[in-house]
Amino acid sequence: MDVKTACLGVLSLGDATGYEIKKQFEDGPFSHFFQAGFGSIYPALNDLLANGLVTRADPGLDGRADRKVYAITDAGQRALTRSLAEPAPSDKIRSDALVMLSFAEHMTEAHRTEIFDFYLNDVRERARRLAENTPEDDTSHRAVIAGLGHAIYETFARYLAENRTAFLNAANEATDPPEADRPVLTHKNADHTGTPS
């Protein structure tokens, strides 16, 4: 599922400019499962055009001079169907925040609380925006997929909220050099240069 295929998919729902395709990636029903920037969309579109999978309505003819409206061709439709017939690679969830929180024992208490709460807030925000973008009455298959995104982020938010204190307490106990619990008393090993043994 490269950017080209995703563009074809969006165009199968209706004609659009590159800019509009990007918005679909951001607000559409699968916004949570896929993302792409202009730097990949525009080249992808030109490639599709060169291969006859889309057509481009030359700008200037209708309305604005700087809009290039793309439309999928029959060949494009078939290419899309072909791509959709291939087995899908398995999901990749990449969450730097959660990996970082896995190593929360190396952070100060303040910092880990900050990251945790920032993350919780971010997830809540996403869940909210998702609910907002999903019309209640839509029963299409695409809406089912969008609903899954919503369910996921709700779960994220609920789990984090429920386990907040458990996480923070456990992390506090695991913290290596409490940094403050060890006053200047013993020795000044605060600037050892890390020379390996």
Partner DNA sequence: CGAGACATGTAACCGGTTACATGATTAC
Partner DNA sequence: GTAATCATGTAACCGGTTACATGTCTCG
* CA distance to 43, 56, 91, 168, per residue, from 70 (Å): 13, 5, 29, 51
Among 19, 26, 37, 105, binds its own copies (CB under 8 A): 105
Among 3, 4, 7, 9, binds its own copies (CB under 8 A): 9
CB 56 within 8 A of CB 49: yes
Tokens coding 137: 């009455």
The gap between the terminal CA atoms of the chain, to the nearest Å, is 48
Whole-number minimum distance, CB 184 to its own copies, in Å? Answer: 19
Among 30, 32, 33, 68, binds DNA (CB under 7 A): 68
Q: Does 106 bind its own copies (CB under 8 A)?
A: yes
- Taking the C-alpha atoms of residue 102 and residue 159, their distance in angstroms, rounded to an integer, is 15
Give the number of residues written for the chain. Answer: 197
CB 44 within 8 A of CB 7: yes
CB 43 within 8 A of CB 4: no
- Taking the C-alpha atoms of residue 104 and residue 106, their distance in angstroms, rounded to an integer, is 5
- Taking the C-alpha atoms of residue 88 and residue 34, their distance in angstroms, rounded to an integer, is 14
Q: Does 130 bind DNA (CB under 7 A)?
A: no
Q: Does 64 bind DNA (CB under 7 A)?
A: yes
Whole-number minimum distance, CB 111 to DNA, in Å? Answer: 23
Taking CB under 7 A as the binding criterion, the range among 11-19, 119-127, 128-136, 138-146 that sits at the site for DNA is: 11-19
Q: Does 15 bind its own copies (CB under 8 A)?
A: no
Residue 42 contact, options its own copies, DNA, none, Cβ 5-8 Å cut-off depending on partner type: DNA
Residue 163 contact, options DNA, its own copies, none, Cβ 5-8 Å cut-off depending on partner type: its own copies
Residue 120 contact, options DNA, its own copies, none, Cβ 5-8 Å cut-off depending on partner type: none
Please report, as residue ranges, which positions from 24 to 43 form the binding site for DNA (by CB under 7 A): 35-40, 42-43
Residues that bind DNA (CB under 7 A): 2-3, 17-20, 35-40, 42-46, 64-69
